[in-house]
Amino acid sequence: MCGNFSNRGIVPRYSFGWLALFLLLQGCSKEGTSLPPEQERTGARAAYAHTRAIVSLGPRPPGSAALNNTREYIASQLQVSGWETFSQPFTKSVLPIGKQVTFTNLIARHGGSTESQITVLLGAHIDSKYYPDRRFVGADDAASAVGVILELARRMSNDPEKASRVELVFFDGEEAFGQNISPQDGLYGSKHYAGNWRMSEKKPAAGIILDMVGHRNLSIRYPSDTPPFLEQALLKAARNADAEHRFKKALNPILDDHVPLNNAGIPTLDIIGDFSQFGWWHTEGDNLKRISPESLDISLRVASEILDDLLKE
């Protein structure tokens, strides 16, 4: 369908998740209350509604029906705004569980754009960490980021020329199967995705990763090794959103989905919650009650301004 997708192990998707779409339209959630339909169509309320719809599908570790339904839901929402979605399946050996796992990234471009047109990547992970003994739905980690990106995608569709220069990517397998992400465990989807870009003649000029961007009393710690021009763009956008105090540089690098992209030669910003300070991180407390429309609004405004700045260049 578009460009060199076949060379990157990407295949088009033709089904668009009627079941998950139905869940959103019905305002179905066991962990949150429905919002009036007129408040769910745009802005932070829309991002909240997307977050709620994903959470309502339940835990979504790699290979689960809930994760497949999440991909279908994302595809259904993007299709409405003129985005074409493609799956990128791959199989990796996962040492902590001693078996092969099939992962599937979801990728989207607008209006038939080609690889050579892409100048900015915008991504988040869609899996939730696997726990055999707890119901972990990852409302902030990272359903909230997906909700923000879906609203950004809707807004970008109003300017097809700009949208045609953005590739959206929803990573599978960000979470480690062991305790924490390490060089050997975790970031499966972003490593595979970045490896395919490594072989491209023309790489995007920049990338933005969102992770844990919807929690109450929003607190973001971006990695200490963030590319300077992206750090400047982030802090400018935060000032303009009157939220600079919520965006601070971490003391050290952070191991997240931006790392494989940086290693592939694509300078990438990671806008990530200060998870080390959250007592609810990777617990059942990361549920819909943790999510704040006000925090989603801040993340939307900041990410939108950074995107606009990058797409002007």
Dig out the tokens for 79 from the structure.
């299709």
Q: What is the pLDDT of residues 134-164, one digit of tens each?
A: 999 999 999 999 999 999 999 999 999 999 9
Find the range with the poorest average confidence among 30-44, 180-194, 237-251.
30-44
Instruction: Tell me how far apart the alpha carbons of residues 252 and 260 are, in angstroms, rounded to a whole number.
Output: 17
Is the separation of the CB atoms in 165 and 138 below 8 Å? Answer: no
For residues 222, 129, 105, 122, the Cα torsion angle rounded to the nearest 10 degrees is -20
pLDDT value at residue 305: 98
Is the separation of the CB atoms in 65 and 59 below 8 Å? Answer: no
- DSSP per residue over 180-218, as a string? S-BTTBS-HHHHHHHHHHHT-SS--SEEEEEES--BSS-
Instruction: Tell me how far apart the alpha carbons of residues 158 and 111 are, in angstroms, rounded to a whole number.
Output: 12
Residue 67 has pLDDT above 80, yes or no: yes
Residue 27 has pLDDT above 80, yes or no: no
Fold type of domain 5-312: Aminopeptidase (3.40.630)
pLDDT value at residue 207: 98
pLDDT value at residue 96: 87
Residue 1 has pLDDT above 90, yes or no: no
Interior/surface letters 170-209, b for 16+ CB within 10 angstroms, e for the rest:
bbbbbbbbeeebeeebbbbbbbbbbebbeebeebbbbbbb
Residue 296 has pLDDT above 60, yes or no: yes
CA distances for 238 relative to 46, 227, 230, 231, 243, angstroms: 21, 17, 12, 10, 5
Give the domain ranges of the chain: 5-312
